[in-house]
A and B are shown apart, each in its own frame.
Chain A
Amino acid sequence: MDNIGHGGKEIVERILPKSAAIKRLSELRAAKVKELPVRLQIATEVIDIAYGFFSPLEGFMTKADVESVCDNMTLADRKTAWSIPIVFDISDDDLKKSGIKQYDEVLLTYTGNPFAIFDVTDIFSLDKKEVAMKVYGTTEDKHPGVKRTYQYQDKFLGGKITLLNPPKINEPFTRFWLTPKQMRERFQEKGWEMIINHQTRNVPHTGHEWLMKGAYLGAYGSMMVDKPRGGVLVNAIIGEKREGDYIDEAIILCQEAQGKYGYFREDIFLTTCSLWDMRYAGPREAVFHACLRTNLGCTHHMFGRDHAGVGSYYDPYDAHRIFNKLPDGSLRIKPIFNLDWWFCPVCDEVTYMGLCGHKDKKASFSGTLIRSIIQDGVKPPRRIFRPEVFDIIMECAEKYGFGSAFVNEQYLKNRQPVFTIEPLK
């Protein structure tokens, strides 16, 4: 497999090898370059940029990129599709205090340790309300993406990032963390020519399982079945949490269970994670997910009903229609659109609106409904929810969730971080 990512460009990796990083760090410190601590939101995106999850981005967006993303859904080159601004914000005060100027080289630190070099090429302001309207289609701060936009500080820095100090991914995420290049190597080892991505931030119920199996069968098409030539990649989004979400540990371990307990053959199934704070941008987030999974080496991407939406801001199928608006050749990944599915008591199985003729008898269920059942302390039937998955949720609640499988204040405050940046030595 080649390493061509989104935009038809080689996957970006901007990481200094350890010995070079240590040398560079001492040079930077000797030259007394400005140091700037970053918060988790920014640190996460530094990692994403440096490993190529956001290829072809090499750094945080300049004003020209942000404006073009908002107006044209492309980067400033007007060719490369991109739907969500990736920005580095800073308060006026911090900007003044730090003395950072255009073309400065800045040492970013995280949790007190050296982290990355930021070549600042642009310093700018944005009309946050305008950005919110163009990206999210609303200016209501009830929308979590809009809220995040309004919470940005008033100035933004654009420029390239170089990672000095790679993150240590903590358990239980370690084995699920593969960089885009590692992901592609893994696919090659598995002999996969077709990789269907399933985007998730949930533990799986059989509706998800059914959709993945349907997508697999559909996409496998006329390929020879002499050996597995394709598989399903569950790429779980691990990032900023909201109260009531499943805890990250339950998400990743329950997804893995589908292969471990044979609901998928292990040789056609892989669970990994990507670090990303969901913006809930609905259709625009769907395009972003397509770019991200192109960089992981996927050939197909599933998009379900109400993909990455929130509340009633988007029509359930807006995230399908947006792909018709992109110029041909903008994406190197094929969308697979999933319609509505339900449990049919007549068919006695989870089925699909495109197949089942008992629509009047359907019993719809959703991730929210399943969460509600679990919160009530009820074990759903295996046709709806796999018992092994339920057991893992309960284990995770005890082991990682302070007694709850769902995010609460205690979890947000005391959880083990997904990654840490250790001293560079």
Chain B
Amino acid sequence: MAEETYPINLWINEERLEKLQQAGLSSMCKEVLAGLKVLAVPNTAAQRDKVLKMFPMAKFDTATTKSIELLPKAVKDKIFDLVVQKKSLNIMDDFLKS
């Protein structure tokens, strides 16, 4: 059975979409909520716990979406840049090391 993952949702505005398109990564986005685009960056339970410890303002939405939300925009920008740089969604180890 696949290990459960806990995503960080990177919501895609025009600026982020342009960067993804330039890197040929726009197909990584999913469409959710009436056409809203998102990149869901997976975290293991251990990574989730580290993220929540590092950024106490973040919240794990246990009730509804089971995702890590409310990370500061600057942090999410950094995660987004890593996704583009590595052309992969599996970047959380690198992010946490950095």
Contact = CB atoms under 8 A, between A and B. Distances in A.
Nearest to A340: B64
Interface residues of B, number: 24
B11 A363 contact: no
B33 A372 contact: no
Contacts of A345: 34
Interface of A is mostly: loop
A29 interface: no
A305 B13 contact: no
Interface string B35-77: 1100000000000000000000101011111010111110010
A65 interface: no
Interface stretch (A67-75, A149-157, A259-267, A380-388): A380-388
User: How many A residues touch the partner, as a band?
Assistant: 20 to 34
A346 interface: no
Contact of A384 (B9, B12, B34): B34
B59 A368 contact: yes
A368 B61 contact: yes
Say whether chain B's binding surface is mostly helix, strand, loop, or mixed. loop
A17 interface: no
B2 interface: no
Contacts, number: 73
Given A244-B57, A364-B64, A366-B64, A384 B70 contact: no
B70 to A, nearest CB: 6
Interface of A: 243-244, 305-306, 309, 311-312, 316, 343, 345, 348, 363-366, 368-369, 371-373, 375-381, 383-384
Interface of B: 9-13, 32-36, 57, 59, 61-65, 67, 69-73, 76
B13 A377 contact: yes
A311 B63 CA distance: 8
B33 A343 contact: yes
A376 B63 contact: no
Contact of B65 (A348, A369, A384): A369
Contacts of A368: 59, 61, 64-65, 69-70
A375 B64 contact: no
A148 to B, nearest CB: 18
26 contacts: A243-B57, A306-B63, A311-B62, A312-B63, A316-B63, A348-B34, A366-B61, A366-B64, A366-B65, A369-B9, A369-B61, A369-B65, A369-B67, A369-B69, A371-B69, A371-B70, A372-B9, A372-B11, A375-B76, A376-B10, A376-B73, A376-B76, A378-B11, A379-B13, A381-B36, A384-B36
Contacts of B12: 378
A377 B36 contact: no
B65 A376 contact: no
Given A375-B73, A376-B13, 5 more contacts: A343-B34, A363-B32, A368-B65, A369-B65, A376-B76
